[in-house]
Chain A
Amino acid sequence: METPIRSRETLSLTLFSLLFFICKSSPLHHLLISNAERRIDLSSHIVKVYLTLKIENAGSTPASEVLLAFPPAQVDHLATVEALATKGKRKKTTLVHLEVKPTELPDAPNDAKYFTIYLASPLNSGESTTLEVLYMLTHSLEPFPAEIAQSESQLVFYRDNALILLPYHVRQQTTFIKTPSNKVESFTRVEPTNRAGTEIKYGPYEDRPPYSFSPILVHFENNSPFAVVEELVREVEISHWGNLQVTEQYTLVHAGARHKGVFSRVDYQSRPSLNGVSSFRYLLARLPPRVHSVYYRDEIGNISSSHLRTDSRKSELEIEPRYPLFGGWKATFVIGYGLPLQDFLFESSNDKRYLNFTFGCPLLETVVDKLTFKVVLPEGSKDPSAVVPFPVEQHLETKYSYLDVVGRTVVVLEKKNVVPVHNTHFQVYYTFKPIFMLAEPMMLASAFFLFFVACVAYLHIDLSIRK
């Protein structure tokens, strides 16, 4: 934890010097931002940033790309970047998803990292458009003090830039920071700065050059559960007999301020409002509807504290780890459930089947540091391919399950830094001949048949030497 923070500090200082540094060689100066608004939501441990950019093309050539810049320390914690373009005028506005890709620029000042937004239609000179950008940061709230006792509440630092880091000239910009409560210990002032209730307003700032930087630090109370799944392995096993078996292995940790010293049960039980406010006992998992045979256990057996509520649209599983999680405490557990196959498996036009399933973690408001998704295809299936709406690492494995001979193909998808936004559907395509379903019953039947034949034969053969 220590080193990246320090590096970030030095980096922010160096970036600060960039205020007066003007990059001339870049072709980016055709564009300029006439108005920018940023809203930073700090109410949970996932930092959500909404940017609204009004872009003008001041150059002579049409532009089709818009660049976003991030300091390198932030890029490591960047879980997702999405961009939307508003189309139409006034009332009839529709939002269009735009493609966003990380890009490398050769002359990036101070290792700034870039994301390119590809506009749906090129922006001609003199025209302007509005972009909505959403990005999320994980592990960006640093607890301070780093260790707290049971009765204390959790205070965190949030570091950012008072100005929006953009490779363009910005005419006017404002930043709003929303804190979970109005308990704010301190915040950096970069005039004009206001604080009203749970909101801190930076700006408006006028006419700032590209890569303007002015570090700010907000120190505030945040007692929302800092639930981080360090590692999650989701395994979906497809059985063409009509069931989809899902097994999820969690390594959960409370990533907030570390618990220090005594844990007193009597205080925790008798004064719940004052004690362990930053700890959490329950987690809510949202499972697909028609879920059945749900279990919740860990390596030493069933965990009896869970509740399942099902209705026609969704199932909610409320799980309680064996003990309340205080800062730095860990717990591991496994959730498993069965699902009806017809809800998730479909046939595509070209004689292929595909599984349509959600990718992310079913627990609400959690960050997954490393998610491994395994799709176990039935034995005998061929040509697997996965279609995922965001970049993941892919490879194939073989798994041997009940009475397998050749093994099942497993499509393994890996992704780091997963947030609830990644709970989108993805597809795994494969071909499968239904005749393979009969392989195992036939095998069993023939084994028993041979056994009985052997028995009959043995009873009819006299093996004795004596006559």
Chain B
Amino acid sequence: MAATETSTATVPTLYTNTLRNAFGGVLSFFILLLIGVLAFSIRLFSVIKYESVIHEFDPYFNYRVTQFLTKNGIYEFWNWFDDRTWYPLGRVIGGTVYPGLTLTAGTIWWLLNSLNIPLSVETVCVFTAPIFSAFASWAAYLLTKEVKGAGAGLTAAALLAMVPSYISRSVAGSYDNEAVAIFALIFTFYLYIKTLNTGSLFYATLNSIAYFYMVCSWGGYTFIINLIPMHVLLCIVTGRYSSRLYIAYAPLVVLGTLLAALVPVVGFNAVMTSEHFASFLVFIIIHVVALVYYIKGILSPKMFKVAVTLVVSAGLAVCLAMIAVLIALVASSPTKGWSGRSLSLLDPTYASKYIPIIASVSEHQPPTWPSYFMDINVLAFLVPAGIIACFLPLSDASSFVVLYIATSVYFSGVMVRLMLVLAPAACITSGIALSQAFDVFTRSIKFQLPGVSSNAEVDAGETSSATAEAQNNVVKTEKTETSKDRPSRKSKKKEREHVEKPSTKAKAEKKRLLALPLEASFISLLLLVLLGAFYVVHCVWAAAEAYSAPSIVLTSHSHDGLHVFDDFREAYAWLRHNTDVDDKVASWWDYGYQTTAMANRTVIVDNNTWNNTHIATVGTAMSSPEKAAWEIFHSLDVKYVLVVFGGLVGYPSDDINKFLWMVRIGGGVFPHIKEPDYLRDGQYRIDSQATPTMLNCLMYKLSYYRFVETDGKGFDRVRRTEIGKKYFKLSHFEEVFTTHHWMVRIYKLKPPKNRIRGKTKKSKSKTSSTSSPRKSGTKKKNPWH
């Protein structure tokens, strides 16, 4: 790239410039290396402060899948039918899981083990996320370098390495799809831009492979397959169509869709669902446009006009007919071919209206304003500046960045979880903004300092690689305007040099005019550095304090030191070692993944909320009185019921606080559960004012059984009240385990009473004709009949 500039300089400066470029290359290599180290090490707070352990809920499932993969091999993995979850339905893991993450970690583990480095699967899983965040920051460097040059690239990479939003999903131990997917997302975008800038089919192929990896890793791949068509459409509409655009897009759609259909979880969805519809529409449009440009090239203008009118009138009719058919097809499916989560993206109120199970997940809620400041911090202020910088001058690549940030801001506004998609966009735009600002200020300082003013002109030419890159892009876009119909590479190069010579001179003069006063630029530089420092401080704080807790171990600082609440693992370990291996454990779905992974026991529902009815059954059982609940659980072969209770130590996200969702989800399927029955004047309470339905439901009883004996009053530290019903006995359940801080309580279903059998015997001996009592017995058991 720099070769174009050195060609204008004299011989001695040529030597110094190549040296300088080489030095710059080495320097930026080491800076990138350090950024990678930074990205990795800032995520190790969780290991240092807590321990090397898998975090939260979903990672435990991924960890379990990885364990299975490493133990049984890839073929077993594809065919894995998991009978330890969703009892009695089971789940086809191989066909319903995004395999990218597990395959990645499995490959890393396999590689290390074949080199005789005996790391455990757990260790590999824990450190996958930090490794991939280092990769992600390098990918951000590449992407931004394509857009605005190496300086902006380095800044963006440094910002991305420590952006809190991404840290929250990729600390060591947070072994989740997003950790790998963000890298895949940025890298796919980079390859798209690279193809767009070079028009090389090689990169286009790489792009579809990167897209394939993204499809493997995360359901968020639909963002790519919608954003890129949007950008292509934007380019076409704004008259920026070129053969490079065609090369960047057409192979991606064809190869990408074929590859995506290979992933079992996507399969035919890659062509059937509406999420992919936009890409095919734009695929048709780009071919029409390409055809039009081709015909325009071979026909005379007059003939072309005739042809246009002819084709437009005929083509419009065909198009209308096809669109009508398509719309009819799409409209015939109830959800209009969109999945629930995607629909809730388009219509933010959709989930809360129709699917309580999606709305009940906290990460599917819209974010609050403070969470923007928490997650992207000062980047929120730099983004607008970056967007402006992208418009000066607007290239294909920079227009993509603008589009990316605009859409991701919208999506992050719908779901907290998608803040993660915003973070890279914000980093890239802020990187551009920061680097441009630094560029302007340093250049004006350099220009006005007396010592350097003599050769300022020369320096101004190549103050930093960033400006050079920027110029280069300008040149490129200029060139592409002029040489649209000449794809030959040689002629391009010639032309580039041709345009270059006058433009650099003009630039040097321009820069002199752009120089700011010395003091102003010094002060602004200082302020920028302060801003950056503030960002770093915030990120380190967020990494260390806010996002590193593994959530299965809780700690609290009190005056007499550190308290560790390790109750979850206490309960899971107890289940693992002291219950029968085939016992079924019922709990709210949040704890399903952890129970299967840590306790190795069969669960009824888990965090993969694919069967609403099943979850509603558990919700109904939890909100029913004891006897009805016992019958539901007994019909599901449940032996143990696990509830999470935070009332003793003040752990707020316990089952009592989640209980209304159980009522709602249960009531959505079984209408005899009505939410108003559990609310007193619209208020959810568990004190003496609570409704009798609330005080008699299973969840209340299992949570507060013998709770009053701890302090004599039954004061709940989460709800900050005394509980409503203090002394009661359980008739159908018995307490078999409660953890040290009472956070997890496990109950066993009492066996069915002998009396019932005696009764049937009696009735049989009395009258042999009636088989009806048995029938009515089975009827009672099933709550959904």
Contact = CB atoms under 8 A, between A and B. Distances in A.
A156 to B, nearest CB: 22
A298 B572 CA distance: 12
A401 B564 contact: no
Interface residues of A, number: 27
Interface string A253-281: 00000000111111000100000000000
Nearest to A331: B577
Nearest to A466: B489
A421 interface: no
Nearest to A402: B117
Contacts of B553: 301, 304
A419 to B, nearest CB: 24
A329 interface: yes
A382 to B, nearest CB: 20
Interface string B688-725: 00000000000000000010011000000000000000
Contacts of B51: 301-302
B369 to A, nearest CB: 36
A404 B117 CA distance: 8
A449 interface: no
A403 interface: yes
A329 B577 contact: yes
Contacts of A116: none
A400 B116 contact: yes
B573 A322 contact: yes
B710 A323 contact: no
A303 interface: yes
Interface string A291-332: 000000010111111000000000000000011000011111
Contacts of B388: none
B649 to A, nearest CB: 13
Nearest to B563: A304
A443 to B, nearest CB: 11
Contacts of B115: 403
A352 B115 CA distance: 31
Contacts of A401: 116, 118
B734 A323 contact: no
Contacts, number: 74
Q: Say what secondary structure dominates the interface of chain A.
A: loop
Contacts of A404: 116
Contacts of B552: 301
A464 to B, nearest CB: 13
Contact of B573 (A264, A266, A298): A298
A304 B741 CA distance: 14
A323 B739 contact: yes
Contacts of A330: 577-578
Contacts of B574: 322-323, 329
Contacts of A263: 735-738
A265 B553 CA distance: 20
Contacts of A332: 577
Interface in A114-154: none
27 contacts: A261-B734, A263-B737, A264-B735, A265-B738, A266-B706, A266-B710, A270-B709, A298-B573, A300-B53, A300-B569, A300-B576, A300-B598, A301-B53, A301-B569, A302-B51, A303-B566, A305-B566, A322-B569, A322-B573, A323-B570, A323-B573, A323-B740, A329-B574, A329-B578, A402-B116, A403-B117, A404-B116
Interface of A: 261-266, 270, 298, 300-305, 322-323, 328-332, 400-405
Given A263-B736, A305-B566, A329-B574, 17 more contacts: A263-B737, A263-B738, A264-B735, A265-B735, A265-B737, A270-B710, A300-B598, A301-B552, A301-B553, A302-B53, A303-B566, A323-B570, A329-B578, A330-B577, A330-B578, A332-B577, A405-B116
Question: Which are the 9 A-B pairs with shortest beta-carbon distances?
Answer: A265-B738, A330-B577, A301-B53, A302-B51, A322-B570, A304-B564, A400-B116, A322-B573, A300-B598
